[in-house]
Amino acid sequence: MAAKPPHPFTFRDYRFYWTARLSATVAQTSMVVVIGWQVYDIARETMGPRDAAFQLGLIGLCQFLPLALLTLVVGWVADRVDRRFIVRVTALLEAFCALALTAMAFRHTTTLPALFAVAGLLGVARAFANPAMGALAPNLVPTEVLPQAIAVSSVSWQTGAIFGPAIGGYLYAADTLVPYAFAAFLFFVTFAMLMLIRPVPRTVIAKASPVRQMIDGLRYVRQNRMVLGAISLDLFAVLLGGATAMLPVYARDILHVGASGLGHLRAAPAIGSTLTAIFLGFRPLRNHVGVKMLAAVCVFGAATVVFGVSTWLPLSLVALAILGSADMISVFVRSSLIQLYTPNEMRGRVGAVSSLFISGSNELGEAESGFFAALIGPVAAVVAGGIGAIGVTLLWARIFPELRRARTFAPPAHLVQPAEETRP
């Protein structure tokens, strides 16, 4: 009987990585919820609900465009430059954004254009940080520990996603500058944790022109149908089912629960995700992983529909928690497949493509939800998106049979990383 792999926390650098991701996530999600609320609140002073929802769509677009424009560059950078250096610099850039918003709040000079500008700068930081952070994790633990490390790392992210929005909402209700100052402090904590991670093995890329190396990442994703199917499923399912973009609308004009209620609504999906991530950290999925991922995305769509039609806060919270739990299962399977089916020297570039798809499903999904809500109303937009997510999942099960047939996370033999590359 094979020995049980060690827990990821037995590796020193992974512990610092986990803490850095937790503090960064709390800071990011608290800022995002406050920026969204401020945009909608400022817009509602002179606009109706539909026009204000359109402004929320613009915020999502501001965060997505930098990633769309920089995808090839940031992936190449993540495979050529020390990944620790990249995430440290982006943590400082995000701290600068938080301090800028703190200063504007203190001077009462916050405007919609200023919020759009900061959102765009945050999008640039995340464009560089996401592929570097994702590619760094596999260098900190042995290959056999990676699936569990991904689940445990998801606990960090989801825990931050629980407390971040709630903290942001509560602090914003006290004073507009406090949540931004708090986020700035946490970004500096993130930077300190990342500074403690020791050097990791540098990747070796075949000699070629930078443009050719950038395109190689796209080519690899296109040719690897397992990776392409997993990434694109997330893109289209969450793009259509992006209910969270409408939470400020639901909090103010449908459920009538205000800024503190918005914190509850933003925290509900993360609570479901965290509980599921904790379970997966102890009992990771091992069999029929592809079918379970497809089923989870269908549940995600159904929960989105229930939330869309609900006008009762407890039911809305339950639907969002189920939505988050289903999304966590999908994220766990997708992340494990992508990391394990991608060689180390390609992880930065493939991670950049994955980040583009993920951001497309999140930030671009927020833009789509905002624009669609401006046309047909927020409730109809959320319900239609949930139905669309279910439809896309059924379609992808036919287009990418590799996903249905994925039984375990075992990668091809030529992709297995040597155990000596990591240090306990």
User: What are 104-126's pLDDT values in tens digits?
Assistant: 999 989 999 999 999 999 989 98
Does the residue 422 lie in any domain?
no
Mean pLDDT of all residues belonging to the chain: 82
Does the residue 421 lie in any domain?
no
**Residue 192: both structure tokens together:** 């300190």
**Is 96 exposed, middle or buried, given 0-12, 13-18 or 19+ CB atoms closer than 10 A?**
middle
Does the residue 100 lie in any domain?
yes
Please give the pLDDT value at position 423: 36
Count the Cβ atoms, other than its own, within 10 Å of residue 3: 6
% of the chain exceeding 90 in pLDDT: 32
Judge contact between 330 and 209, C-beta under 8 A.
no
Q: DSSP assignment, residue 422?
A: S
- Evaluate if residue 153 carries a pLDDT over 50: yes
CATH code, domain carrying 49: 1.20.1250.20
Judge contact between 158 and 273, C-beta under 8 A.
yes
Does the residue 177 lie in any domain?
yes
- State which residues form the domain around 119: 9-198+210-409
What is the rounded distance in angstroms from the CA atom of residue 157 to the CA atom of residue 115? 24
pLDDT band at 244; cut points 50, 70, 90: confident
What is the rounded distance in angstroms from the CA atom of residue 362 to the CA atom of residue 41? 21
Please give the pLDDT value at position 96: 96
Residue 389 backbone phi and psi in degrees, to 5: -65, -40
Does the residue 238 lie in any domain?
yes
Does the residue 4 lie in any domain?
no
Q: What is the total count of domains within the chain?
A: 1
Does the residue 257 lie in any domain?
yes
Does the residue 282 lie in any domain?
yes
pLDDT band at 210; cut points 50, 70, 90: low
Count the Cβ atoms, other than its own, within 10 Å of residue 311: 11
Judge contact between 304 and 243, C-beta under 8 A.
yes
pLDDT band at 373; cut points 50, 70, 90: confident
Judge contact between 373 and 253, C-beta under 8 A.
no
